[in-house]
Chain A
Amino acid sequence: MIRDITIGQYYPADSVIHKLDPRVKLFGVVIYVISLFTFRGIWGFLLVTLALAAMIKISKVPFRFMVKGLKAIVIILIITAMFNLFLTPGETLVTIWKIKITKEGLKSAVFMAIRLIYLILGTSTLTLTTTPNQLTDGMEKAFRPLNHIHVPVHEVAMMISIALRFIPILVEETDKIMKAQIARGADFESGNLIKKAKAMVPLLVPLFISAFRRANDLALAMEARCYNGGAGRTKMKPLKYQKADHISYLVILGYLVIVILMRVLL
């Protein structure tokens, strides 16, 4: 029933991007997002589109699969576009009653919508090609210098990876509980808001109980294996840069240079 959530889901495939070091991918996504929110004009838009298309093509993840993730942001998308459309002052195009649509508003609404869609597509390329564990490993290593100013990098990374690890489990559990309650005649769909909220109780109580039980079990299992934080902990698969990673860094930096040049020159 709710298996269709794709945000944060890994899609196994044999591609260059799948094999890259997570740090490279993180860096790439950061640069991509920066370029996404700084580009101006049609040329900048083309460049970003090209970069995104290349990324998706190389990742070998079916485009259909990525688009599914967009469903979740449709409402945010519409609201943002509306605000931009109606509330930007400038040269009036159309006037409906008291609402004015301006040329600038139309332009910024379209670009905002594109930016949001590209943001989701780009970041989901990262999560679709990187397992949650790789991702947190990458983050832990990339942010390690923060340890010197007493940021608990390892602990945060561990918390994130546990949280990510539990999303599919809890989704599956929710599905099972829903089925068990529907089998007893529960109705999660019809009725007004208050009725719907009330209908959630038979779902949430078992879900919370099970989440607490799982957290408790996990803590015990970790303690039983002498887990005591990050100090002195080694990795089974330490991250090491390969040739492909160095090349990718060069490609990303090249992209960054082009983006800056375009921004300055055009």
Chain B
Amino acid sequence: MSIILDKVNYVYSEKTAYEVHALKDINLKIEDGEFIGIIGHTGSGKSTLIQHLNGLVKATSGGIYYNGRDIYDEDFNMKELRGKVGLVFQYPEHQLFETTIFADVCFGPLNQGLSKKEAELQAFTALRSVGLPEEYWYQSPFELSGGQKRRVAIAGVLAMKPEVLVLDEPTAGLDPQGRDEILDQVAKMHKELGMTIILVSHSMEDVAKYVDRLIVMNHGSVMFDGTPKEVFHHYQELEAVGLAAPQVTYLMHELRKKGIPVDGEATTIEEAKASILKCFQNRENRS
């Protein structure tokens, strides 16, 4: 069970003055149950890349294989793929339309051809797993706060029971608390439901904290692909392309420069805290 991208190229508005080569020879293998982060500055091709995963955008050249089957085959069921690879877009405003939140979440499963009862059951489970309090369920989705709208949008995709959940900047424009709540919820789904998660983000802190594998996009190509630690090890190269490592990594490097033997590879606050405390302990032991 995997998604394989083989030499995928994508060109916007081919052969006009507006031509943009958005993806260049992308080769990726996404295994089942991975938690992947994709980072890159605006226009690096992140959004275009993830829209290839469920066939919304057709590659100009190259192949995409879902569980070993070519998704560009004539007889491939695209609609089924869109149920399997759930894509949540950045702005919930682009998908909410029903009179109540519950009805809106039912939209996906109903499109899959489920009966009303089954759809409602799946909507119920989905709304539960995004942690939206039940008192909101029969309100209009337009009256919610930004963070709650995000949850409803995620639930709308989750209700289709996808195997892979792709989130395009789910935390943009949220306050720190809303951000943590959403990401904790996503991490929980990854752990409990064993879902493959692909998280597109601008926040280095977020990806460092949650993902197991990090893909860095730059000018339509994959620049780095590895664990967050491996990737943030190249923090100087990341800076050169307008990205950065998490703040705490810089702090650790500064401390090392001052001659304090902390772990320069730490990417999360927890790791840094442990490493700094260890330093203090060693010093106390010596004295």
A-to-B contact residues, CB < 8 Å: 3, 11-13, 62, 65, 173, 176-177, 179-187, 201-202, 205-206, 209-210
Contact = CB atoms under 8 A, between A and B. Distances in A.
Contacts, number: 64
B13 interface: yes
Interface stretch (B86-94, B169-177, B183-191, B206-214): B86-94
B60 interface: no
A193 to B, nearest CB: 19
Give the interface SS of chain A, mostly helix, strand, loop or mixed.
helix
A176 B56 contact: no
Nearest to A199: B111
Contacts of B17: 11-13
Contacts of A179: 51, 56, 89
Q: Which 9 A-B pairs have the closest CB atoms?
A: A185-B111, A205-B97, A180-B95, A184-B108, A183-B87, A180-B94, A180-B89, A177-B94, A202-B97
Interface in B226-270: none
Interface centre among A176, A181, A183 (most CB of B within 10 A): A183
Contacts of B156: 184
Contacts of A182: 56, 82
A210 to B, nearest CB: 6
Interface of B: 13, 16-17, 51, 54, 56, 79, 82-83, 86-89, 91, 93-97, 107-108, 111-112, 142, 156-157, 160
Nearest to B86: A183
Contact of B157 (A65, A177, A183, A209): A183
B56 A185 contact: no
B94 A206 contact: yes
Contacts of B93: 206, 209-210
Contacts of A186: 107, 111
Contact of B95 (A11, A62, A181, A201): A181
Contact of B111 (A180, A187, A205): A187
Given A177-B94, A206-B97, A183 B89 contact: yes
A180 B96 CA distance: 10
B126 to A, nearest CB: 12
B111 A206 contact: no
22 contacts: A11-B17, A12-B17, A13-B17, A173-B94, A176-B91, A177-B94, A180-B89, A182-B56, A183-B56, A183-B86, A184-B107, A184-B160, A185-B79, A185-B83, A185-B107, A185-B108, A185-B112, A185-B160, A186-B107, A206-B94, A206-B95, A206-B97
